[in-house]
Structure 1
Amino acid sequence: MTTKTRRQYTDEFKAEAVRLVRDSARPVTHVARDLGIADHLLYRWRAEQQQAEGQGQTRQSARAEQAELARLRRENATLKQERDFFKRGGGVLREGVAMRYRVIQEHDRRYPIRVMCRALAVAAAGYYAWRSRPESARSSQTRTLLSAIRVIHRESRETYGSPRIWNALVKQGHRVGEHRVARLMRHGGIRAKTVTKWRATTQSQHRFPVAANTLDRAFTVAAPNRVWAGDLTYVWTMEGWLYLAVLLDLYSRRVVGWAMGPRLTGELAEQALTMALVNRIPRAGLVHHSDRGSQYAATSYQQRLTEYGLIPSMSRKGNCWDNACVESFFGTLKRELVHQRPYVTRDEAKQDIFEYIEVFYNRQRQHSTLGYHAPVEFEARAAVA
């Protein structure tokens, strides 16, 4: 019989969770569900933070402030949607008239018909005549599919390409081929986010001992808490660099530990390790893989690994493929989130990354290596099996 261990949370996790409630203006119960924690914990953390900060706001003024923030967010989202429609219009112009008519029909409750007809270079009379004709079965199915594709794409934060969207459609019961989904996405101007930049974070010029490459690229792991892989990366803000340290459980690719700060230090890596140890409480023998940077080779970090019976493993010098899983995660994070918006402050970037990791990546984002399941879902399904 196994004893269920109570999950523990670092102060940084609590602070970011409370800030997510405040900044998103969503109910505590919704945010708690997204983070996979109990409502009462989030209520308690919020009360503790309010008391510590000595907030003097009345409940009425706080509600008014949240309502105003929510209104501004809605207005901003509306403006973005309007810009998106006219951006997509350029791609639709290259397609047939029927495709342009369908796009207009999809947005007829949001934009004036004549404005959209002008933008897509079709006559309003022609659109009304098209709409009055009986719709063919094929056209109806295409319209339904395109609508479902847009919903899935939007819910994925515009990060899914045709393979993941096709997989989601099949799970919903649609009978459609992957090539057709790709074609509809291309015609509809629906694309996954892309992007790039690079900056070295590995400080391998040091005198600390370096561990052997015990993992040796054995990235397929049979159970949780057998192999963790860690690394550090960076995010540019107008205040300067924000550095991020993470630890992934290679079994589910779940981010089990993370930490963010303005300096690339060994302490940052240790904070991520602490979060992982507190959350997962692994048994001795777990393999801890990283690059051979000074943050991981440092005496204090290695002592923590020894204390918990973790076995150190390090990539070969200058070989990023030895830690490909974490490199892939960082690439995904930057492609889908970081490179899509400029950050004014480190706090702004920190909040965005916290929500991406804890709400979207760990609990919602389909992972092709996991049979298109999210990491938390993958672990839950394995536990029941």
Structure 2
Amino acid sequence: MVGQAAVELVELLKVDIPIKRICMYLGIPRSTYYRWKWKSINPYSKHKLEQRIGELCKTNKYRYGYRKITALIRMEQVVNQKVVQRVMQKYGWQCRVKVKKRKKTGQPYHVADNLLNRNFTANKPLEKLVTDITYLPFGNKQLYLSSILDVYNGEIIAFTIDSKQDTTLVLDTLSQLGDIPVGCILHSDQGSVYTSADYQKAIKGKGITMSMSRKGTPADNACIESFHASLKSETFYLDRLTCTTTAIVEQTVRDYISYYNNIRIQTKLNNQSPINYRKLVG
């Protein structure tokens, strides 16, 4: 009964006094208050909340952890993050993650300095870009994905899928970029396609300043590494598309990039998708 009385008192006073302060006066942690409140909720309401959490997890193919699911629920009703976490743990709805395998890099021709230096923040679009290539070994032949990500909002602004990991692959991706502002930095690893004379020439032709990771240090390019890992874990591994057709592999990647840019919310973007964030802030 003590718990029920505390919950009723907090509900009565929280309009005028922050819940944190009320709990401090009562001598109970906020987590205890929320636990008591959850237990006091009508079983039917609990069932509806659990059902909604399950729907959101399923709709997003279990790509979201409890923080993002909480953010989506809060667009509809007030809910405590720990409650959502417990419900997802109860039913095994946690985000499913796979570790990305690191590709090998070629021998360098021209290596640029590491100008990005793990500073993955930008004040405006096209200020800092990162690029990389990843394997797509899920079809009847090996494919490669070359992509360019804008650090400002995490948006994929260019990508190419091909069966060859050569300079043409990265040049095709680079050619998709439109007008580039002065001072734009493009960061990559030291792969031979990026250090090649043809690529360096194309970079200079666009007025871009090249930056490169230290050799064997994938964390220097963590933004694009993270995107490629998410792409694989939230599509091919999640849906078990590890042995399919080339056409399905290509369509899966295109669909995911569209979803990633337009729909998939990111905590660091105030729970907005990359394109929504750019539109709202810009």
Report the TM-score range of the alignment, normalised by the length of the smaller protein: 0.7 to 0.9
Specify whether residues 214 and 199 from structure 1 end up closer, same or farther in structure 2 by C-alpha distance, changes over 3 A only.
closer
With over 3 angstroms needed to count, the CA separation of the structure-2 counterparts of 1:197 and 1:373, relative to structure 1, is: closer
My pick for the range that moved more, 160-169 or 143-152, is: 143-152
The one of 167, 181, 199 equivalent to 1:283 is 181
- Give the distance between the partners of 1:250 and 1:197, measured in 2 at CA: 20
Is the counterpart of residue 327 in structure 1 residue 225 in structure 2? yes
* Whole-angstrom CA distance in 1 between matches of 2:231 and 2:244: 18
> Is the Cα contact below 8 Å between 2:98 and 2:229 reproduced in 1?
no
Task: Indicate yes or no: 2:265 matched with 1:366.
Answer: yes
Instruction: Measure the CA separation in 2 of the matches of 1:273 and 1:214.
Output: 19
Alignment partner of 1:183 is 2:76 = no
Question: Alignment RMSD, CA only?
Answer: 1.5
SS in 2 for 1:198: coil
Matched residues in 1 for 2:139 and 2:230: separation?
22
Structure number with greater CO (CA < 8 Å, separation at least 6) is 2
Q: Which amino acid aligns with 1:356?
A: Y
The 5 A counterparts of 1:208-357 are 208-275=109-176, 277-278=177-178, 281-340=179-238, 341-357=241-257
Match of 1:160, as an amino acid?
Y
Q: Which residue of 1 aligns with 2:70?
A: 166
| 1:319-344 CA distance string (max 9 Å, x none) | 11110111111111111112232242
* More off after superposition, 369-378 vs 233-242: 233-242
**Aligned residue number for residue 379 of structure 1:** 278
Matched, 1:195 2:94: no
Counterpart residue identity of residue 351, structure 1: Q
Q: Provide the rounded CA distance (Å) in 1 between the counterparts of 2:138 and 2:55.
A: 31
Q: Secondary structure at the match of 2:103?
A: coil
Deviation track 1:16-71 (CA, whole Å, cap 9, x = no partner) reads xxxxxxxxxxxxxxxxxxxxxxxxxxxxxxxxxxxxxxxxxxxxxxxxxxxxxxxx
Deviation readout 1:188-219 (Å, 9 max, x if unpaired): 2322222245252422x24x111001111111
Give 1:333's aligned amino acid. Answer: L
Whole-angstrom CA distance in 2 between matches of 1:328 and 1:154:
22
Q: 3-state SS of the aligned residue for 2:131?
A: strand
Aligned residues: 241
The DSSP-based 3-state class of the residue aligned with 1:209 is coil
Residue 148 of structure 1 aligns to a residue whose secondary structure is helix
State the alpha-carbon separation in 1 of the partners of residues 102 and 115 from structure 2.
Answer: 27
Q: Which segments of 5 or more consecutive residues in structure 2 lack a partner in the other structure?
A: 1-39
Aligned mates of 2:172, 2:58 — CA distance in 1 = 33
For residues 73-125 of structure 1, give each alpha carbon's deviation from its aligned partner in whole angstroms, at most 9, with x where no partner exists: xxxxxxxxxxxxxxxxxxxxxxxxxxxxxxxxxxxxxxxxxxxxxxxxxxxxx
Q: Using the alignment, how far apart are the partners of 1:375 and 1:202 within structure 2?
A: 29
Provide the rounded CA distance (Å) in 2 between the counterparts of 1:353 and 1:374: 17
Partner Cα separation in structure 2 for residue 150 and residue 311 of structure 1: 46
**Superposition deviation, residue 373 in structure 1:** 0.9
Runs of 5+ unmatched residues, structure 1:
1-135
Q: Secondary structure at the match of 2:74?
A: helix
2:36 alignment partner in structure 1: none
TM-superposed CA distance for 1:138, in Å, is: 2.2
Distance 1:197 1:163 in 2: 22
- Are the aligned partners of 1:235 and 1:242 in contact in 2 as well (CA < 8 Å)? yes
For 2:167 and 2:88, the matched residues in 1 are separated by 44
Residues 355-376 of structure 1 show CA distances to partners (whole Å, capped at 9, x for unaligned) of: 0002x10000011221211000
Structure-2 residue corresponding to 1:42: none
Change (3 A) 1:331 1:325: same
* Bigger shift: residues 232-241 or 295-304: 232-241
Q: For 2:243 and 2:206, how far apart are their aligned partners in 1? A: 37
Q: Greater CA deviation, 313-322 or 145-154?
A: 145-154
